[in-house]
């Protein structure tokens, strides 16, 4: 094997091992640490994305008007109901359930879920309370992950 090709393989193996170690065995696919590792070569920064393979998940198809499941804890449900400016029609599935300590699964259309993510992001951006802002940001990221896993 040529010297350059062997160096590329060693570089990929080094980055892959570090990424798997940091992502707790989750593999390379889509982790923040994998993207961060893409620019490192044995402690030195190289061009981002060089010699690192990424596997993108294929979004599941949802028919027009089809519903998508969103799992929320009681605290996340209360954050949406109490702190966002989402209208009653959008939060109706959240208000219909009774309070429980377990996570519940709610069904939304993709359009409703996009609207809900927008309301949560807007509240997170305009909130002065940093703890509440972080919780809303995390919730917005979770909703966006669900949106990214489905296509219409």
DSSP string, 13-82: HHHHHHHHHHTTT--STT-HHHHHHTTEETTEE--TTTT----PPPPEE--TT-EEEEEE-HHHHHHHHH
Q: Are residues 66 and 33 in the same domain?
A: no
Q: Are residues 81 and 125 in the same domain?
A: yes
Residue 53 falls inside a structural domain: no
pLDDT tens track for 71-83: 999 999 999 999 9
Domain containing 30: what range? Answer: 3-45
Q: Which of 15-19, 60-64, 133-137, 147-151 has the lowest mean pLDDT?
A: 15-19
The answer to whether the beta carbons of residues 86 and 108 sit under 8 Å apart is no
Tokens representing residue 28 in the block: 């390379």
Dihedral angle at the C-alpha atoms of 122, 128, 131, 133, nearest 10 degrees? 10
Number of domains in the chain: 2
- Structure confidence at residue 51 (pLDDT): 47
Q: Are residues 9 and 40 in the same domain?
A: yes
pTM above 0.85, yes or no: no
Q: Are residues 134 and 67 in the same domain?
A: yes
* 110-126 and 130-148 helices, crossing angle to 10°: 160
pLDDT tens track for 4-61: 444 444 444 444 444 443 434 444 444 444 444 444 444 444 455 554 455 456 888 8
Q: Are residues 71 and 27 in the same domain?
A: no
């Amino acid at each position: 094997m040529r010297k350059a090709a062997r160096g590329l393989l060693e570089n990929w193996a080094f980055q892959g091992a570090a990424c798997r170690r940091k992502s707790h065995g989750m593999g390379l696919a889509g982790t923040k640490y994998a993207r961060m590792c893409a620019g490192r070569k044995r402690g030195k920064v190289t061009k981002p994305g060089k010699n690192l393979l990424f596997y993108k998940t294929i979004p599941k198809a949802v028919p027009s008007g089809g519903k998508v499941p969103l799992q929320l804890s009681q605290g996340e449900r209360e954050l949406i109901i109490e702190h966002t400016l989402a209208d009653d029609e959008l939060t109706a599935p959240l208000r219909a359930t009774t309070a429980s300590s377990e996570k519940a699964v709610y069904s939304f259309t993709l359009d409703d879920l996009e609207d809900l993510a927008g309301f949560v992001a807007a509240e997170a951006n305009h909130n002065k309370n940093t703890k509440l802002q972080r919780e809303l940001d995390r919730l917005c990221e979770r909703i966006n992950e669900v949106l990214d896993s489905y296509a219409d």
